[in-house]
Amino acid sequence: MAATEAEADIHLDGVSKRFGEMTAVDDLTMSIPRGSFYAMLGPSGCGKTTTLRMIGGFEDPTAGKVYLGGADVTQHPPYKRDVNTVFQSYALFPHLSVEKNVAFGLERKKIGKSEALKRAHEALELVQLDHVGKRKPAQLSGGQQQRVALARALVNRPRALLLDEPLGALDLRLRKQLQIELKRIQQDVGITFVHVTHDQEEAMSMADTIAVMNGGKIEQAGSATDLYERPRTAFVANFLGISNLIDAKVTGDQRVTTHDGAQLHAPECAGLTGDVRIGVRPEKITLVPAGEAVPDGSNVLKGKILVAAFLGVSIQYVIQAAGGEELNVFAQNFSGSEPEALAVGREVQLVWRPEHTFVVERG
């Protein structure tokens, strides 16, 4: 359940940001509860980084208010906001040791040197790097440098930590490793993390709540499961994973008809009328050779196999449905080879359970 304004650790009320004639963020209202891991996910230019910068105080809203812990901080500069930001660039001081990099912000707050170093080592221990405190940043790997930047942001014990694509400069293996580390650290420290990313897998693996942004607005926010299984727009369905979307018309209670005449059961279309698009994820579909029996009550489309690509753990099929759509199907690799009955050119039936059908407006 979304946090109310009164419960929110971070709350944006009708926030907009315009750069000349361009609107980067458009009348955005959002609430982030204390201690949550919140991801803003979307393509370049969708407004996610601008939103993060307004929370941090690096950009002033053109309109609207920003609240931290219930207090209006819209006019406060970054240093007066109880948040820290971790950027994609590590911005470590090359001439200082790791421990002094982490302690730097504490010393500026006139905390004693011994106390600052004690807290710095606690922060380094949190990111599992206490053993490199005496080294210089150049002696560390990219992943280690990013964890030092994270420790430096956490050492001040801020209300919230803002993460602006912090893993974007790392290779795939390191990104996956640090995704797990970030989630562990957030659970350990219990503070609010707000994470900006364009990587759907990154958001899904870490965040309690994901807000999918498009055109300066939030298209849909919810858990990874909610967004993946029950997308409300075609944009969300296609941005989070692969979706098969098929044009259809609502023709009865929880029933639709595709333009080639196939009758399908779509429980989520209850109460809707007119033209819609129904969707089903590729892994929910089973391919059955043409003419073979299918389970009662199943949704069924006829098609022909255009592509069968062996991917090791699975086989990806591209099927041309009778209505002309090209649909993706992922089949688990049980046999160690591509079944002859599902070879390229074969006629097949695409079979799935009605409850795996979602419905979005036809755009």
Q: What would the pLDDT profile of 303-339 be if each residue is shown by its tens digit? A: 999 999 988 889 999 999 998 999 999 998 877 666 7
Co-location of 261 and 228 in the same domain:
no
3-class secondary structure, 118: helix
Q: At 284, which CATH number?
A: 2.40.50.100
Q: What would the pLDDT profile of 56-112 be if each residue is shown by its tens digit? A: 999 999 999 999 999 999 999 998 999 999 887 778 899 999 999 998 878 666 777
Residues in the chain: 363
The answer to whether the Cα torsion of 95, 99, 102, 103 is positive or negative is negative
- pLDDT for 1 equals 37
- pLDDT for 108 equals 62
Domain that holds residue 252: 242-361
Co-location of 223 and 269 in the same domain:
no
CA 32 distance to own-chain centroid: 15
Query: b/e per residue, 102-112, with b = 16+ CB within 10 A?
Result: bbbbbeeeebe
Co-location of 40 and 126 in the same domain:
yes
End-to-end CA distance of the chain: 28
Highest-pLDDT range among 35-49, 120-134, 141-155: 35-49
Contacts of 93 (CB under 8 A, 6+ apart): 100, 101, 104, 137
Confidence of residue 225 (pLDDT cuts 50, 70, 90): very high
Does 143 have pLDDT greater than 90?
Answer: no
- pLDDT for 2 equals 47
Q: Which of 86, 88, 89 is nearest to 123 (CA)?
A: 86
Q: Write down the pTM of the prediction.
A: 0.88
**Residue 3 falls inside a structural domain:** no
**Residue 54 falls inside a structural domain:** yes
